[in-house]
Amino acid sequence: MQSVIYKRIPQCPADLLAEVAKYPVSDLHEALGPVEGRMQLMSSRMRPIAPGQRIAGQAVTSYNFPGDNLMIHAALNVAQRGQVLVLVNGGGAHGSLWGDVAATFAKQKGIAGIIVDGPARDVAALRELGSLTWSTSISSSHPEKRGPGAVNVPIVCDGVRVDPGDVIVADDDGALAIPLRSLERAVKGARERNRKEIELRDRLKTGSSLFELLQMDKNVQAAGAEIRDTLWIDG
Q: Binding site for Mg(2+), residues? A: 122
DSSP string covering the chain:
---EE--------HHHHHHHTTS-HHHHHHHT-TTHHHHTBPPTT-EESSTT--EEEEEEEEEE-TTB-HHHHHHHHH--TT-EEEEESTT-SSS--B-HHHHHHHHHHT--EEEEEEEE--HHHHHHHT--EEEEEE--PPPB----EEESS-EEETTEEE-TTPEEEEETTEEEEE-GGGHHHHHHHHHHHHHHHHHHHHHHHTT--HHHHTTHHHHHHHTT----SS-GGG-
Binding site listing: 99-102, 121-122
Residues 6 or more apart whose Cβ sits within 8 Å of residue 173: 24, 25, 26
CA–CA gap between residue 132 and residue 111 (Å, rounded):
9
Binding site listing for substrate: 99-102, 121
